[in-house]
Structure formats: structure tokens, C-alpha cells
Structure 1
Amino acid sequence: MNRRGIKEVLDTIGDEHARQILAAISRKPRAAKELAEECDLSLPTVYRRIEDLKEQDLITERTQIADDGNEYNVYQSNFESTVISLEDDEYQVRVYRDDDLSSRFSQLWDELCAE
């Protein structure tokens, strides 16, 4: 479970193009070019929204190798759900992930080292 500021997350997912991309990659991982075609967006728009979504840790990026040996990146959603709550007079967004134990430990370790 991650806590993020509500403004940053809502600003990101409040964007129609970001929501289109997030919906597409929640079904299956896709490359930026595929997202541009499926969502009827320009490639620069797709890349800007991908960066916004990555900044909020809502998607992951991984490299795949094509049949011809070339590498390309695919993007996928990395959360199950989000919950907006009011705690101590402040709104919070919790992002729930379906990570395996080693991923959760790595993320916790990274957060501890960053503080």
C-alpha cells in the first residue's frame, strides 16, 4: 500500500488521455506506438502521459525483444485499486498493488533508503 498526495494522483488520472492509456494497459501491456493507435493520440502525447503515470508510480515499464531482435518498451498498470480517504482533516490516496513479497520488500527498502 502506498500513500500519495491526492492532488498529484488526481491531476494525473484527471487527464482524459492518461485515463485512456491507463485503461488500455490495464487490459494488457502495450508499446507506446500501440497505445497511440488504440487511443487515437499522437506519439508525443502518449509519451508525456506515460511519464506522468510513471511519476505517480501507476505504471511500470519493461523491455521486450521483438522477433527481429530489436528491443522496445511496453507499459502496464501496476495497481489493483485506489482509495481516497480523509484522515486527520487531510485527503489521502492509497494505491493498492498486487505485488509479490519480494517486490514489496524491495519497494519498502527503497522507500526507507530514500528517507
Structure 2
Amino acid sequence: MPDDDRSIEDILDTIGDEHARRVLAAIGREPKSAKELSEECELSLPTVYRRIEMLEEYDLITNRTLVAEDGNHYKVFESNFESTVISLEDDEYRVRIYRTENLPDRFSQLWDELGSE
């Protein structure tokens, strides 16, 4: 789902949630499991999972499955964006989420914007 299709209020509510911000800050440094997030952020496991679900809904985090030495599988979560810019344009708020993999697209967009001025 492109960022433009998402409700600005919903994205701001998600980013504005204190627990979601703590989770994002923790996984911004390195990928972590839900258990690690619970311990580091001093949040209950159900609270961590609710925030993970919220953040995944807006594609702000991703997960991957790892295999422990004992053969058990577990997920780690990591940030899926580099930065977020909130701007006011023509009396409307806009949220732009910059992702690492979108660098060529961002360059093309910037080039197009420069050409249209």
C-alpha cells in the first residue's frame, strides 16, 4: 500500500504512541526479538506484540525468522525506514516515509521535482 493511501491521522497516532516509539528506537539500533524488546523497553510481551502489529500495519517494521542453536525458530523485528518527514503543504499535513531501498526512486523524484520548477 503506498504511503499516500494511508490516513495521516493513523500514521501520526502510530508514531505518536509512546510505546511504539520505544519499540522503534530499540529496533532502530539492531534487530530484536519480541522478548528482547519487552525486556529493553520494560513493556509486557502483549504490549510489545500490539505495537509490533501496529507498526507492521504501516510497514514501519519488518520481521525475519531466525533459528536458535537449539533448533527453535523465532522472529526478530527491525525498522523498515530511514526517516519520516511530516510537512504542512497547502493547509494539509503530509507524511513522507523514506526507506533505504527507495534511494533510486527518491533521487528520480527529486530530479523530477527540480525539473518541474
The TM tier, using the shorter chain, reads 0.7 to 0.9
Q: Which runs of 5+ in 1 are unaligned?
A: 105-115
Higher helix share: 2
Higher strand share: 1
What's the counterpart of residue 100 of structure 2? 98
Q: Give the letter aligned to residue 23 of structure 1.
A: A
SS at match of 2:43: coil
**Does 1:74 pair with 2:76?**
yes
> How large is the Cα RMSD of the aligned pairs?
1.8
Pick 1 or 2: higher relative contact order, CA cutoff 8 A, min separation 6: 1
What's the counterpart of residue 47 of structure 1? 49
TM-score normalized with structure 2 length: 0.80
Q: CA deviation at 1:86?
A: 2.3
Q: Which runs of 4+ in 1 moved over 4 A?
A: none
What's the counterpart of residue 114 of structure 2? none
| Separation in structure 1 between the aligned mates of residue 54 and residue 102 of structure 2, nearest angstrom | 25
SS at match of 2:62: strand
Identity %: 69
After superposition, residues 10-89 of structure 1 pair within 5 angstroms as 10-89=12-91
TM-score normalized with structure 1 length: 0.81
After superposition, give the CA deviation of every residue in 1:7-61 in whole Å (9 maximum; x if it has no partner).
1111011111111000000000000000000111100000000000001111001
Corresponding residue pairs, total: 102
| Separation in structure 2 between the aligned mates of residue 8 and residue 64 of structure 1, nearest angstrom | 31
| Separation in structure 2 between the aligned mates of residue 88 and residue 44 of structure 1, nearest angstrom | 40
Q: Which runs of 5+ in 2 are unaligned?
A: 106-117
| Separation in structure 2 between the aligned mates of residue 2 and residue 79 of structure 1, nearest angstrom | 12
